[in-house]
Amino acid sequence: VEAQLLRTFVAVARLASFSAAAAELGYTQAAVSQQIAALESDLKTQLLNRRPVTPTEAGTRLLEHAEPILLRLDAARTDVTRMTKTPAAKIVVGVTPLAGATSGLAAALAELRNRMPRLAIAVRTANRAEAAIAVARGELDLALTDGLTAPGDPLPESVPVTATGLSEKPVRIVLPRHHPLAGRAVGLTDLADARWIAADNVAPPLKEIRRHAATDGFKPALRYTGEDITTLINLAAEGHGLTLLPESVLSDGRVTSVAIAQPRLSHRIELIHTSLPKRSPAATLAAILSER
Amino acid sequence: VEAQLLRTFVAVARLASFSAAAAELGYTQAAVSQQIAALESDLKTQLLNRRPVTPTEAGTRLLEHAEPILLRLDAARTDVTRMTKTPAAKIVVGVTPLAGATSGLAAALAELRNRMPRLAIAVRTANRAEAAIAVARGELDLALTDGLTAPGDPLPESVPVTATGLSEKPVRIVLPRHHPLAGRAVGLTDLADARWIAADNVAPPLKEIRRHAATDGFKPALRYTGEDITTLINLAAEGHGLTLLPESVLSDGRVTSVAIAQPRLSHRIELIHTSLPKRSPAATLAAILSER
DNA sequence: CTACCTTACGAAGGACGTAATTATT
DNA sequence: AATAATTACGTCCTTCGTAAGGTAG
C-alpha cells in the first residue's frame, strides 16, 4: 500500500467525486481513476461504489486507517524537518479560549519575547481536537488546551503528539449571586436536570460533563457560541443557566460558585507539542510554560 | 513521504547495514542506497550516519513514527482484505498463558468446532505486546490477553486494534498454606519488601505491580520463565515467594491466598481483534467468547 | 587492501495526460 | 443528451540493476 494512493483515496471519498478530487490534487480525472483502480487491485477489493461515489464497507474500513496514517506521515515529516530547520523566525501557538484565560500564557510570551526579541509570535484560538491535529501537521508549533479530567489521569492521545499536563485546578459551578445553592458543595448528578448553558468554546462542553457524571441530562437551556468568558459569566450571573469553570477565572463579584463534591473533577491545562528539538523557540516557550 | 522508503529505512536502521537490508528486502545495495538518498533529500535531512550505520537524531525521530505507520499500513491491508476473503479455512488464536487458563477458551473452541466442523483451529501462546501487533498484521485472527487493571478502565491501545474486555475478576496474593497472613486482607504496598516470584509469562509482571502500587520494591527473589501455572503455584506453595493470581485458578489445596485491600485491582481478560467482518470464523469465536 | 557505501548510466516499468469509450441519470 | 468514470495508448519519468568509483577502517 503506497501512501499516495491513500491520499487520493481519502480525497475521492471525502469529495464523493473522482473529478473533484483530481482538481483538488492537481491530477487529471483519468489519473485518479487509475490510482483508485491500482489501490483496489492491490487490495483485491472494491473500495468505492461509483455513481454516486460512496465508500463500500471495505472502503469505510480503509478510511478509518488511512486518515490516521496520513496524519502521522505529516507528523513524521514536520517532526523530522523541524530538527534541521534554522530556529524559525516565527512561532505559532494555538490556544483554547479557557486555556488562554487561565494559564500564564501572556506572561510566558512576554518572557519569550525578552529572550528572543526578533521572534514573531502568533497566537491563534483553536479547539482541542483541531489543535492536536494542527500541531501534528506543523501548522501550529505548540498548543495550550484545556479540559475536564477525573483524578486518574489518562492523558489520552490518538494523535501522534505529546501532551504535557501544566496544571490541574479545581472547577466550580457558577451561580448568580444570592443563589440558594451558594456556599454548599453539591454532587454533579444532582444538577443533571438544572438549566445549563452550552458554551462549548469557552466552558467544558456539556457532553464532557455528561460523560463524567455518567448520566443523561445536562440539557442546554441556552447556547453561547462565542469565545468570551466575561460574556459567559454575565449570562450565568443573570441566571440563564449554570456553567462550570475553573475557580481561577471566577474573581467576578457578580457571581458566586459552589464546589463539586462528586465526582472529583479538575480543569486541566495541557501543552501539546511534538518531541521538541532543543533550542527551538517552541521548546523555549514550552520550558517557560512548564515552569509555572 | 512514500511508504516503501520508510520500509527500507527501518530495515537499514534495524540491521545497521545497507547491504544486509538489501539482502533482506530483495534489492541490490545500490537500490537501497538510492532509496535512502531519496528519503534524505525529500526530508532535506540526513537520517543515517555511515560507517558505522547509525540513525542520526532526526533519523531516530523518524523511526519513532515509521514503525507505527508501517504497522498500521499492515493493519489496514489485513483489515480490508479480511472483508473479501472467503471465510478462511483456518483460524489462529493467540493466548497469553494466564488468559488461556482462566477463560472459557477451550469451551468456546469446542462450540466453534461444533458450528464449523471443517475449520482448522490453531492456538498459539503469545505475550500481550506481541499479540496486539500480530493481530494488527493479520498473523493472528484473534488474541486473548490478560493483565492487571485498576477499576477505572483505560483500555489503552497504541496499536490499531480493538480490545474488548471479557471479564474482570479479583486477584489474590498466593501464599503457602498456614502462612501467617492467610485470611486477612492486606495493602499491596505493605508487601513491597516481601519475597516475590517474577513469573512474567504466567503471572502479572512485577513491573506492572510496581506501577499499580506506585512504589519501588517488589524485587524478584526467584525468577520463573516457564509458562505453566501449576509450576508457579508449586513454587509459591513451597514458600519461594509471593505471586499474584486471579482467584479462579487458585483451587489448589496446597496454597492459600489473601485479598488485596488497596489498591483495588482486578485481573482482566481482553479479546483483541480488528473490526471483524460479520460471519467470519473469528467473529463467530469472538461472539462465543463474549457471551460468557 | 578490503568491506561497504555512493555515483553513473542504461533499460524496464510505472504513472500521468490526451483522447476515445462506456455507463448512468 | 449530458455528466462522469473507465479504458486505450503514447510519452515521460522514475526506479532498479550493473558496474565503476570513492572512502573509511
Partners of residue A81 in chain B, C-beta under 8 Å: 43-45
Please list every residue in chain A whose beta carbon sits closer than 8 Å to the beta carbon of residue B72: 65, 68-69, 72
Strand D nucleotides in reach of protein CB atoms, 7 A cut-off: 4-8, 15-20, 24-25
Using a CB-CB cut-off of 8 Å, the residues of chain B touching A83 are 45, 57-58, 61
C-alpha cell of B135?
493481530
Q: Which three cell numbers stand for residue A9?
A: 483515496
The closest of A203, A215, A186, A193 to A267, measured between CA atoms, is: A203
DSSP string, A163-180: EEEEEEEEEEEEEETT-T
Nearest nt by C1' to B51 Cα: D24
Phi, psi of A24 (to 5 degrees): -65, -35
Entry field: residues in chain B: 292
Asked whether the whole model's pTM tops 0.85, one would answer: no
pLDDT in tens, B28-51: 999 999 999 999 999 999 999 898
Is B83's CB within 8 Å of A77's CB? no
Q: Which residues of B touch A43 (CB under 8 A)?
A: 77, 80-81
User: For B214-280, where are the alpha helices, taking DSSP H only?
Assistant: 229-237
Q: Is the CB of B218 under 7 A from strand C?
A: no
Q: Is the CB of B36 under 7 A from strand C?
A: yes
CB contact under 8 A, A80 and B43: yes
DSSP-derived 3-state class of residue B166: strand
CA/C1' separation A51–D5 (Å):
8
Which is nearest to A212 in space by CA: A230, A189, A231? A189
**Shortest CB distance from A83 goes to which of B57, B69, B275?**
B57
Report the DSSP pairing between strands A255-262 and A243-246: unpaired
B275/A61 touch (CB, cutoff 8 Å), yes or no: yes
pLDDT digit of tens for each residue in chain A (292 aa)? 789 999 999 999 999 999 999 999 999 999 999 999 999 999 999 999 888 899 999 999 999 999 999 999 999 998 898 888 777 778 899 999 888 888 788 888 888 888 888 889 999 998 888 898 999 998 999 999 998 887 655 555 677 888 888 888 888 888 888 777 776 777 878 888 888 898 888 888 888 888 877 788 888 888 988 888 888 888 888 888 889 988 888 876 777 888 888 778 888 888 999 887 777 888 888 888 887 6
A62 and B73 in contact by Cβ < 8 A? no
Q: Is B37 (CB) below 7 Å from strand C?
A: yes
**Do residues A56 and A49 touch, judged by C-beta distance below 8 A?**
yes
Q: Do B8 and B38 form a contact (C-beta atoms < 8 A)?
A: no
